[in-house]
Amino acid sequence: MANLIERHREKIVGVLSCFDRLVLQGTLPSVAYPQAVATELDRRDIRLFDYAKQFALPFREAIRARTEQLAAQEGVEIEYIQRMKTFRKEDRIQQILAARGNRPGLVHIFSAMEPCPTYEPWHDKKTGCTFIRRDRGKCLHYYFYFIDEMLGLCFLSVPTWCPFRALFYLNGHNWLASKLRSANISYDLQDNAFAAIDDWDKAQQLSDRLMVKQLHTRLDAAVARYLPDLESLGRYHWSILQAEYATDIVFRSAEDLAPLYDHLLRTAIHAVKVGDVATFLGHSPHRIGERETGGDFSIRRHGLRLEGTRIRHYLGPASIKMYDKHGFILRVETTTNDVTFFRRHRMVEQRDGQRVFKLAALRKSIYSLSPDLASISRAANDRYIQFLSSIDDPTPGVKALSKISESVEEREHRYRGFNLFDDEDQTLFEVLCRAEFFIHGFRNRSLRQHLKQFRPSQISRLLKRLRLHGIIKKVGNTYKYYLTQLGRHVAIAGLTLKNMFLVPEFARAAIAY
């Protein structure tokens, strides 16, 4: 990460990593699954077949009546959305905020008919058993948009039918902004990105000290205010449904970022492979399994206005993307729709009751946000930026190509140079450019796995050639090698020049001929 930033230090205002978009899911354990509903009905002395009439329906009517009462008290409208797919709630909220201002409190309420999970009583004639089973249906959903003093603009969404599974949205940049205000640090927050902060280092420290307990308190307070009629069903348990963690490199102007971003974007489209994506996200390239993998490029628009471009690389439920925010912020962002994709060493309680410290998937609980998910996501961003650093400036590599093409001698043995137009040499450098080798280094056996056409003795001689030309270096008292700075410049610059410029140019010349 430092390479790219140090190289453009005079053009950079600051760097900041923090959570961006967060969507949390609230579940009521007392009605979270069919057996729990049956137990709750029994506790209330309600027959299973009276589930809808005597249990779910009264809650629905209470939520609707309380929402209408709240809207009247606050002087806000309950706006019914006829077609959710063609309606942008965020645009409507921005219109309201432009007239209302950003003072804390309820902003607006939306309502819409949407699909939701539910239950139904069922009698099995074969077994003679009556029970509650899962079902799907549609019900009215409410979206309470409000401004919280600590969390900024948020919304709480809840269906009016059991199991009342809630959603809570917030943005980590707004959360950090409240911390900066408390610390008397001036800032300029544009949309969901900081364009300026008086003390970037202090801001990063505040971001790293995110207190999930405070968030939990705010979640419970929102439920108590907007959904008090569900209090008898117990306290909501909150889990992470979606999470985005962004690293922003803020440039002084769009003119400073534009040429660099254009180069990084074009090169990353061709340079990043599936194995690289796995490495960025902390997974072994050899254990991808059947997860869906790939990448895409898109142009971001807001109406008719062009906002910028974005490249995204994904592996299963996680992805890492790069885009230009507001034209002068280079943002790298790790996102996930399932935090169990990531793993860390933690205490795990096994089925026999024993607790062991082992590598395990992250829990979905909101208490995995910090420090676990934050540190994992930031490390993924750093790995991607480190990869970008190697393709940032190919000029030194161009100058070094002539050096590595010459033969060298050691003890009267001549070792020929490297030619990237030679198929074997090109294949070798493509392997050396793998992301996991940039980060973790490689061994003789690592190359054998990817260069199966070479015998072990040939691999050993390749390593000797690479070392004598200054392309790799060996770690003391180990069998591990790393690319030197020269090696990185040569590998990236050589392959980039050949694949992106020379080959296409020769192809056009051949067609013209």
Average pLDDT over residues 409-425: 80
- Interval 111-168: pLDDT, tens: 999 999 999 999 998 898 999 999 999 999 999 999 999 999 999 999 999 999 999 9
- Alpha carbon 193 to its chain's center: 16
In terms of pLDDT, which residue wins out, 374 or 459?
374
- Interval 309-367: pLDDT, tens: 899 999 999 999 999 999 999 999 999 999 999 998 888 888 888 888 888 899 999 99
Contact of 122 with 133, CB cutoff 8 Å? yes
Query: With the C-alpha atoms ordered 149, 151, 157, 158, is the resulting torsion angle positive or negative?
Result: negative
SS3 assignment, position 277? helix
- Does pLDDT of 84 surpass 90? no
- Interval 174-219: pLDDT, tens: 999 999 999 999 999 998 999 999 999 999 999 998 889 999 999 9
Instruction: Identify the weakest region by mean pLDDT among 74-78, 355-359, 421-425, 453-457.
Output: 421-425
For residue 413, what are the contacts with CB-CB under 8 A and spacing of at least 6? none
Contact of 12 with 251, CB cutoff 8 Å? yes
Q: Which contacts of 347-352 are long-range, i.e. CB under 8 A and separated by 24 or more positions? A: none
For residue 117, what are the contacts with CB-CB under 8 A and spacing of at least 6? 134, 135, 136, 163, 165
Cα 344 to Cα 283, 363, 376, distances in angstroms: 11, 10, 9
**Buried residues in 125-144 as b, exposed as e (16+ CB within 10 A):** eeeeeeebeeeeeebbbbbb
**Buried residues in 268-289 as b, exposed as e (16+ CB within 10 A):** beebbbebbbbbbbbbebeebe
Contact of 64 with 140, CB cutoff 8 Å? yes
Distance CA 460, CA 444 (A): 7
**Buried residues in 467-476 as b, exposed as e (16+ CB within 10 A):** bebbbbbeee
The reported pTM is 0.79
For residue 392, what are the contacts with CB-CB under 8 A and spacing of at least 6? 3, 4, 7, 260, 263, 264
